[in-house]
């Protein structure tokens, strides 16, 4: 009998142990370009850990997950952060876990409302990209050479999530 996980709204506070929420936070806004542009400043900081490696921009084109969805594994990137910012303006799902002696704990699942992205701190357990509803593009900033920056663990007992109400 699989455990069904609750899907919670993504908030800065709830996500703080795992990373940053990237959104046009009015508290970060400064007017630039003669007042024609609002700069939402320093929302997150992409970092590389250990040996120097490029930070790069990529676009991930994610196919939507089907539900009920089984979360049977988590991954982490020990040597850098990884951020996902929707280009499609659609919500998506984020699942993260605390580390328990080198393995992911029970996942916490968040619904990232439209216009919000996330930046995972280095070495934070997370599930690979979960797009919702239709093929969705995401701007991703992370460390180059991804194959040398990936640890994956499979759960002995997978978890399930139902389709979120949008
Ligand atoms: N493999 C890859 O680049 N994607 C994952 O890191 C992910 O978090 O989606
Ligand atoms: Ni990842």
Residue closest via CA to ligand 1's atom 4 equals 128
pLDDT in tens, 98-130: 999 999 999 999 999 999 999 999 999 999 999
Residue 74 CB–ligand 1 contact under 6 Å: no
Residue 145 CB–ligand 1 contact under 6 Å: no
| Whether 84 contacts 118, CB under 8 Å | yes
pLDDT in tens, 127-158: 999 999 999 999 999 999 999 999 999 999 99
pLDDT in tens, 56-84: 999 999 999 999 999 999 999 999 999 99
Give the three-state DSSP class for 144.
coil
Beta strands in the chain (DSSP E): 3-4, 7-9, 19-22, 29-32, 37-40, 55-62, 69-76, 82-86, 92-97, 99-100, 103-104, 108-112, 117-120, 125-126, 130-131, 136-143, 151-161
All structural domains of the chain, each given as residue ranges with its CATH number in brackets, are 3-161 (2.60.120.480)
| Whether 12 contacts 21, CB under 8 Å | yes
Ligand 1 nearest atom to the CA of residue 62, by list position: 9
């Amino acid at each position: 009998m699989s455990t069904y996980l609750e899907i919670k709204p993504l908030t800065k506070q709830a996500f703080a142990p795992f990373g940053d929420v990237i959104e046009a936070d009015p508290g970060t806004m400064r007017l630039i370009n003669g007042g024609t542009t609002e700069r939402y400043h320093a929302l997150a900081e992409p970092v590389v850990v250990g040996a120097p490696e490029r930070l790069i921009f990529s676009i991930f084109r994610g196919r939507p997950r089907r539900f009920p969805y089984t979360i049977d594994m988590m991954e982490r990137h020990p040597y850098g952060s990884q951020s996902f910012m929707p280009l499609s303006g659609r919500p998506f799902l984020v699942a993260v876990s605390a580390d328990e002696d080198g393995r992911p704990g029970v996942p916490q699942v968040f619904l990232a409302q439209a216009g919000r992205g996330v930046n995972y701190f280095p070495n934070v357990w997370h599930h690979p990209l979960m797009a919702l509803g239709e093929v969705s593009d995401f701007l991703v900033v992370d460390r180059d050479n991804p194959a040398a920056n990936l640890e994956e663990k499979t759960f002995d007992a997978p978890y399930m999530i139902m389709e979120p109400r949008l």
